[in-house]
Amino acid sequence: MTIELKNLVKTFGSFAALDGVDLKIEDGELLALLGPSGSGKTTLLRIIAGLDWPDSGGVWFDGENALARGAGERHVGFVFQHYALFRHMTVFENVAFGLRVQPRAIRKDEAAIRARVKELLDLVQLDWLANRYPSQLSGGQRQRIALARALAIAPRILLLDEPFGALDAKVRKELRRWLRTLHEEINVTSVFVTHDQEEALEVANRVVVMDKGKIEQIGTPNEVYDRPATAFVHSFIGESIVLPVNVSDGRVWVGDQALNIKPNGATPGPSQLFVRRHDMQVGPAGSGLRGSVRYVRTFGAIQRADIALAAGDGETLIEIDTPRDRELKQGDVVELQPTRFRIFSA
Amino acid sequence: MTDAPMPLRLATTDARTEPWLVRWIITGLAIAFLTVFVVLPLILVFAEAFSRGAAAYVAALLDPEGMAAIKLTLLVAAISVGLNLIFGVITAWAIAKFDFAGKSFLISLIDLPFSVSPVISGLLFVLLFGMQGLFGPWLQAHNVQILFAVPGIALATIFVTFPFVARSLIPLMQEQGTQEEEAAISLGASGLQTFFRVTLPNIKWGLLYGVLLCNARAMGEFGAVSVVSGHIRGETNTMPLLVEILYNEYQFVASFAIASLLAMLALVTLVVKTVLERQLDEGQQLRDD
């Protein structure tokens, strides 16, 4: 199912959680909403689910106005950040809940409900926990039961709020891979919210980067990482070296040193230069950005060096990753050459 | 060779062990105090009630005036507990699960009956429904009797016992949040299904606890009821009021017989309360896991 969001606005008091959001989610897609806390991503998810209502704007499911329907009539599977399992029910009854509360006319009989729950518990590989209570499960197990419960109603969309947020690193990695595989298997349009860029880039087909209630960029993980649309996206996704620069006379200046790069049409004036750590290389003499090596450590094929830049007022320390074919030593004076970079006006 | 492990003696066990004399004195003082102020009066109530034998005790209870008081007390308790159960759940729900202007005002309003003297609470209803009161003349014109009748007694009791249910539910519901309800709604449950299948099971022990305390107070309330009752014999006397009346008339056996019923209510309440508190604690531990 496709989901279309048009100009969504939602405020809590004076705080604008969503400030005019437009988004089209394609059928069968696995989409990540990525942003820092307070960026509005969870609010967006809750509005799609019908747990919150926008102040203005529209939500369309397959061209049909979803705002005309309550949460229960939207057939949306929602997995809560802290799972929200029914604590007084067994795992089995938790998963069966959505089937048991259906109107009598369309409710399955007991045998069919049991079969369906069994099938879902098999799907999440936890059928052996059917008679336990949520408090007796580990975090990862609760997460999967919450997912099975959401899938029980055969949802048209699956929404997951920080699905791996409360888990430890190892379980998180496993579950990520598992969610990907599961999505390929059931192929239901899915949207998940995360503040973890690695998670978004690894799991999703497409990533929506949000900040302060607005969408900053929509794109595939590669697009978002390689061609960040804004300064925010560049600094939020992946680690970057950020240098205050000045663009004038068709050159890029750090203090009084001109870099050996072209501004690529950046508007003249004070700007910010963004370079990934591995895109800042030691260049030939005349590259322009001079600094001295403070500290070097090696990780396998690369060496990571702290370099104190000479330019600008005061001393700026940056960290770069370079191949080990040219060994750096503490105290070396080097000139740096960005191989790939972005300039955003400040 | 003695390879047997040495018994471990921790310094802390010594540190909190007082000399035996101190322990005995402190424990003895506590027991003596409780004996004089709690156990002895309780025994006295029963001793006095049975001082002329079991037959006199039963006769006192079966006396028409006694029976009327017992019936009235049960009726008033049933009405006020029933209504406070409904209003208490609604109030707690509103406070715990929604955000709205004036919420903190509503919370302090709930506590009002506890901070006002019961006699004042009763007087409040006299001022509202009495002959000189706000609605008095209108009520008389329409032949509605509130004061010196069951409705007045019920109203005063409801007022005095209102905080119990709401108070015992609010912290519980606040702690549980709204996520389980949201999950139920998004799974297609209706409002009623959500309440009966998700909310109610989660608050049942807290609810029973509130109802228990509410009931104990409703049956035992004296001050507020005394003001609105009018003390019409055989009609508007609840058990606590009858105890006083009989005592003032030197009918000690009858007075203490009725009092013994209230004492038994207190004992039963105490036992059930302990059981419920244990259940609540277990629920707490389940959640903290």
**CATH code (residue B123):** 1.10.3720.10
Same domain, A195 and A301: no
Task: Answer yes or no: is B27 within a domain.
Answer: no
Q: CB of A175 within 8 Å of any CB in chain B?
A: no
In which domain, by residue range, is B80 found? 53-288
Same domain, A226 and A244: no
Which residue among A183, A202, A231 closes a domain? Answer: A231
pTM of the model: 0.79
**CA pair distance A269, A251, nearest whole angstrom:** 11
Q: CA angle B213-B216-B217, nearest 5°?
A: 90
The chain B residue lying nearest A153, using CA atoms, is B187
Q: CB of B279 within 8 Å of any CB in chain A?
A: no
Q: CB of B286 within 8 Å of any CB in chain A?
A: yes
CA distance, residue B97 to nearest chain A CA (Å) = 14
3-class secondary structure, A316: strand
pLDDT digits (tens, 9 = 90+) for A157-176: 999 999 887 788 888 888 88
The alpha carbon of residue A108 and the mean position of all alpha carbons in its chain are separated, in whole angstroms, by 38
Q: CB of A49 within 8 Å of any CB in chain B?
A: yes
- Do the chains contact at A51 and B185, CB–CB below 8 Å? yes
Place of tokens 């806390």: A37
Q: Which amino acid is at A2?
A: T
The alpha carbon of residue B45 and the mean position of all alpha carbons in its chain are separated, in whole angstroms, by 21
Task: Answer yes or no: is B246 within a domain.
Answer: yes
Mutate to test the interface with B, among A78, A88, A142 (most CBs of B within 10 A): A88
Same domain, A77 and A210: yes
- Widest pairwise Cα distance in chain A: 80
Give the number of other CB atoms < 10 A from CB of residue A48.
Answer: 24
Q: In this structure, are strands A189-194 and A30-34 parallel, antiparallel, or unpaired? A: parallel
**Bridge partners for A321 per DSSP:** A304
The answer to whether residues A77 and A155 touch, using CB atoms and an 8 Å cutoff, is yes
Give the number of other CB atoms < 10 A from CB of residue A68.
Answer: 8
Under 8 Å CB pairs connecting chains A and B tally to 70
- Do the chains contact at B187 and A135, CB–CB below 8 Å? no
Q: Give the neighbor-by-neighbor strand order of the sheet with A76-79.
A: A76-79, A157-161, A189-194, A30-34, A206-211, A214-219
Total domains, chain A: 2
In which domain, by residue range, is A13 found? 3-231
Using CA atoms in the order B191, B193, B196, B197, what is the torsion angle rounded to 10 degrees? -130
- Do the chains contact at A73 and B190, CB–CB below 8 Å? no
ipTM comes to 0.82
Task: Answer yes or no: is B2 within a domain.
Answer: no
Same domain, A35 and A133: yes
Q: Which of A73, A78, A88 is opposite residue B183, by nearest beta carbon?
A: A78
Which residue among A192, A213, A231 closes a domain? Answer: A231
Same domain, A215 and A254: no
The chain B residue lying nearest A50, using CA atoms, is B186
- Do the chains contact at B197 and A152, CB–CB below 8 Å? no
CA distance, residue B179 to nearest chain A CA (Å) = 6
* Axis crossing angle, helix B103-115 with helix B150-161, rounded to the nearest 10: 120
The chain A residue lying nearest B201, using CA atoms, is A88
Total domains, chain B: 1
- Do the chains contact at B289 and A97, CB–CB below 8 Å? no
Task: Answer yes or no: is B237 within a domain.
Answer: yes
The chain A residue lying nearest B202, using CA atoms, is A88
- Do the chains contact at A88 and B202, CB–CB below 8 Å? yes
Same domain, A89 and A225: yes
Q: Which residues of B fall within a CB distance of 8 Å from A149?
A: 183, 187
195-234 of A, contacting B, C-beta below 8 A? none
Same domain, A149 and A205: yes
pLDDT digits (tens, 9 = 90+) for A284-338: 877 778 888 888 888 888 888 888 887 666 678 888 888 888 888 888 888 888 8
Same domain, A103 and A12: yes
**CA pair distance A65, A38, nearest whole angstrom:** 27
The pLDDT value recorded for residue B5 is 52
Give the number of other CB atoms < 10 A from CB of residue B86.
Answer: 11
State the CATH number of the domain containing residue A328: 2.40.50.140
Same domain, A165 and A291: no
Tens place of pLDDT for every residue, chain B, 289 residues?
A: 445 555 555 545 555 667 888 889 999 999 999 999 989 999 999 999 998 888 989 998 899 999 999 999 999 999 999 999 999 999 999 998 888 888 889 888 898 998 889 999 899 888 888 888 888 888 888 888 888 889 999 999 999 999 999 999 999 999 888 899 999 999 999 989 999 999 999 999 999 999 999 999 999 999 999 999 888 888 889 999 999 999 999 998 899 999 999 999 989 999 998 988 888 887 665 554 4
- Do the chains contact at A101 and B287, CB–CB below 8 Å? no
Same domain, A184 and A321: no
